[in-house]
Homo-oligomer: A and B are copies of this chain.
Amino acid sequence: MSEVHVSRRTRLRDRCAASTAHDGPADAVLISRPANVRYLTGRAAPGSVLLLGPDGADTLVSLPGEGPAHGAHPADDLRETVLPGDASADVDAVVAAATLAEKGGGRTLAVEEHHLTVARHRALGTAAPSLRLADLGPAVEQQRVVKDEEEISALRIAAEITDQALGELLESILVGRTERHLALELERRLIDHGAEGAAFPTSVATGHNSGLPGHRPTDRRVEEGDFLTVRLGARYRGYCCQIGRTFVIGTAPDDWQIELYDNVFAAQRAAREALGPGTECREVDRAARQVLVSAGHGAGLGESTGHGVGLEIGEDPRLSPAAMGKLDACVPVTVEPGVHLPGRGGVRIDDTLVVRPQADGGPELLTITTKELLAL
């Protein structure tokens, strides 16, 4: 793994030496966004920042008391600096890193203006006044979009864990249990099967809550005749996947339930089938959206119908009407259209897939739990 991280850092350095987002070349780079630090170092080290110094040395700067960085690789040529425990509380890791860059003879330091707060940015400028500060922009986020096979393999395992946890739940009695308890049980099962944790708070929504985007589990109990929407995902080696399924409780779904389910299913399939290298992101979104709009469900649609996944659950690219850019091969994305009818309930179907060329068989479905409308 360590060579991978060295080469990621080298790519970033080369890019910054050529030019940053808005402010010309930079001879030093400060990475503060946690997922970016992890991507470039392999370390999950909360509060730590990474300096690509002007002298060619890469240094991970950590605050005291954060505990040791996880996943250190002795073969990696990354220096590690822990600030002394008696450092003033005002000296945070970004300030210490900027000071280090200045001491190393840096002239222009590229920083993540989309992550640094105004207050930290000012503190950094004050602590290292001879440095010119430039905006790195989302350079690391862009580097993260296309995954290597090791990253995809972590995602594949995350998806397997997620499918297992969901499959076990489906074998248990659901009627009478609360959304909160079902969500907790799913999260426990994720851990049981080897996840580091949940990739995001598990959402379980039943009855009139079903299909609500971002629904947080309540004390509502599952009842006969309910739609039940479940959305969960495992985090494995830092990588996050997502699955969403909708079930009906009892024996025979109502006609409106069958119709709504069929619509969302058709929309989701259309978007999945639209995935391919070179496809515009907004075309994928449109594929799902137009099915639902023609079925009269345009009003209930959210802002996007999918997004990239990786070290964060919501990454580039976005699959939305306003999205710019095209898909590449080896980009994992979710496809997750959903409709909620206020007062009645709704349907969500989410998959995580990897974009692959047709020659390789087309999109690779990672979350393989059935998408038939199961009556549980």
Report if A88 contacts B (CB, 8 A).
yes
Cβ of A362 under 8 Å from chain B: no
**Distance A111 CA – B117 CA, assembled complex (angstroms):** 12
The answer to whether B191 and A65 have CB atoms under 8 Å apart is: no
Considering only CB atoms, which chain B residue lies closest to A137 in the complex? Answer: B119
CB-based contact A303/B85 at 8 Å: yes
The answer for the CA separation of A116 and B67 in the assembled complex, in Å, is 27
- Smallest distance from the beta carbon of A49 to chain B beta carbons, Å? 15
Contact of A322 among B66, B88, B180 (CB under 8 A): B88
A302 neighbours in B (Cβ, 8 Å): 64-65, 85
> Taking the complex as formed, is A177 at the interface, i.e. its CB lies under 8 A from any CB of chain B?
no
Q: How far apart sit A215 and B67, CA to CA, in the bound complex (Å)?
A: 7
- When the two chains form their complex, are residues B64 and A303 in contact, meaning their CB atoms are under 8 A apart? yes
Q: Is A58 interfacial (CB-CB < 8 Å)?
A: no
- Provide the A166-181 mask, 1 if CB < 8 A to any CB of B, else 0: 0000000000000011
Complex Cα–Cα for A55 and B266 (A): 49
Complex: chain B residue closest to A83, CB-CB: B303
Q: A187-B184, A213-B67, A302-B65 are in contact. Are A321 and B117 (CB under 8 A)?
A: no
How far is A180 from B193 in the complex, measured between Cα atoms in Å?
12
Q: Chain B's nearest CB lies how many Å from the CB of A285? A: 12
Instruction: Look across to chain B and name the residue whose beta carbon is closest to the beta carbon of A320.
Output: B89
Q: Is the CB of B214 within 8 A of A65?
A: yes
Residues of B with C-beta under 8 A to A231? none
* Contact bitstring A34-50, B, C-beta under 8 A = 1, else 0: 00000000000010000
Residue A141 is within 8 A (CB to CB) of chain B in the complex: no
State whether the Cβ of A5 lies closer than 8 Å to any Cβ in chain B.
no
A118 proximal to B (CB < 8 A): yes
Q: Are B188 and A184 in contact (CB under 8 A)?
A: yes
A301 within 8 A of B: yes
Q: What is the 8 Å Cβ interface bit string for chain A, positions 81-93, against chain B (1 contact, 0 not)?
A: 0000110110000
Distance from A89 Cβ to chain B, minimum over Cβ atoms (Å): 5
Assess the A303–B67 pair: CB atoms within 8 A.
Answer: no
User: Considering only CB atoms, which chain B residue lies closest to A178 in the complex?
Assistant: B191
A73 within 8 A of B: no
Contact string against B for A residues 155-170, beta-carbon threshold 8 Å, 1 for contact and 0 otherwise: 0000000000000000
Encoded as 1 (CB less than 8 Å from any B CB) or 0, chain A from 306 to 329 comes to 000000000000101111000000
A280 interface residue per 8 A CB criterion: no
Interface residues of A in 58-112 (CB under 8 A from B): 64-67, 85-86, 88-89, 111
- Enumerate 29 A-B pairs (CB-CB under 8 Å) in ascending A order: A46-B214, A64-B303, A65-B214, A65-B302, A67-B214, A67-B215, A85-B303, A86-B321, A88-B322, A89-B303, A89-B318, A89-B320, A89-B322, A89-B323, A111-B118, A113-B117, A113-B118, A113-B119, A113-B122, A114-B117, A114-B119, A115-B117, A117-B117, A117-B118, A118-B118, A118-B121, A184-B187, A184-B191, A188-B188
Question: 15 additional contacts, CB 8 Å, given A67-B215, A114-B119, A119-B135?
Answer: A65-B214, A65-B302, A85-B302, A85-B303, A88-B322, A89-B320, A111-B118, A113-B117, A113-B122, A114-B117, A114-B120, A116-B117, A117-B118, A118-B121, A184-B191
